Structure 1
Amino acid sequence: MGDMTLPTPQPAPQPVSRFPLADRADLPDDLRERYDAVEAKSGFLPNVFAALAHRPEEARAFFAHHDALMDKDTPGLSQAEREVVVVATSAANDCLYCVVAHGAVARIRARDPYLADQVAVDWRKAPLQPRMHAVLEVAVRLATDPAAVVPADLDTLRGHGLTEDDLWDLGAIVSFFAMSNRLAHWAAIPPNPEFFLMGRVPRG
Structure 2
Amino acid sequence: MAKAKAAPKKTAPKKTTRAHALKIPVPARDKLDPATQAYFAKCDEKIGFVPNVLLSYSFDQKKLRAFSEMYNELMLGESGLSKLEREMIAVVVSSINHCFYCLTAHGAAVRQISGDPKLGELMVMNYRAADLAPKIRAALDFVAKLTETPAKMVEADREALRKAGWSDRDIWDIAATVSFYNMSNRMAAAIEMQPNDEYHGAFR
- Give the alignment of 1:13-162 within 5 angstroms: 13=16, 15-72=20-77, 74-75=79-80, 77-162=81-166
CA distance in 1 between partners of 2:21 and 2:60 (Å) = 15
Is the deviation greater in 127-136 or in 87-96?
127-136
State whether structure 2 residue 191 is matched by structure 1 residue 187.
yes
CA distance in 1 between partners of 2:118 and 2:79 (Å) = 23
Aligned to 1:3: none
CA displacement, residues 97-131 of structure 1 (integer Å, 9 cap, x when unaligned): 00010111111122222212101111111121111
The answer (yes or no) to whether the contact 1:72–1:79 under 8 Å persists in 2 is no
Count how many residue pairs are aligned between Structure 1 and Structure 2: 191
Aligned to 2:175: 171
CA distance in 1 between partners of 2:15 and 2:189 (Å) = 19
Q: Which amino acid aligns with 2:131?
A: P
TM-score by length of 2: 0.88
CA distance in 1 between partners of 2:158 and 2:120 (Å) = 25
**Unaligned runs of at least 5 residues, structure 1:** 1-8
CA displacement, residues 172-193 of structure 1 (integer Å, 9 cap, x when unaligned): 1010110100000111111111
Residue 84 (structure 1) shift: 0.5
Q: Which amino acid aligns with 2:84?
A: A
CA distance in 1 between partners of 2:125 and 2:78 (Å) = 25
Aligned to 1:6: none
Percent identity over paired residues? 34
Specify which of 194, 198, 203 is matched with residue 202 of structure 2.
198
The answer (yes or no) to whether the contact 2:79–2:173 under 8 Å persists in 1 is no
CA distance in 1 between partners of 2:117 and 2:77 (Å) = 21
Q: Using a 3 Å threshold, how does the CA distance of structure 1 residues 161 and 10 change in structure 2: closer, same or farther?
A: farther
The answer (yes or no) to whether the contact 1:73–1:79 under 8 Å persists in 2 is no
The answer (yes or no) to whether the contact 1:93–1:181 under 8 Å persists in 2 is yes
Aligned to 2:5: none
Larger Rg: 2
SS in 2 for 1:194: helix
CA distance in 1 between partners of 2:38 and 2:117 (Å) = 31
**Unaligned runs of at least 5 residues, structure 2:** 1-11
CA distance in 2 between partners of 1:132 and 1:93 (Å) = 20
CA displacement, residues 8-58 of structure 1 (integer Å, 9 cap, x when unaligned): x96741633221111111112111111110111111111111111101000
Q: Using a 3 Å threshold, how does the CA distance of structure 1 residues 115 and 51 change in structure 2: closer, same or farther?
A: same
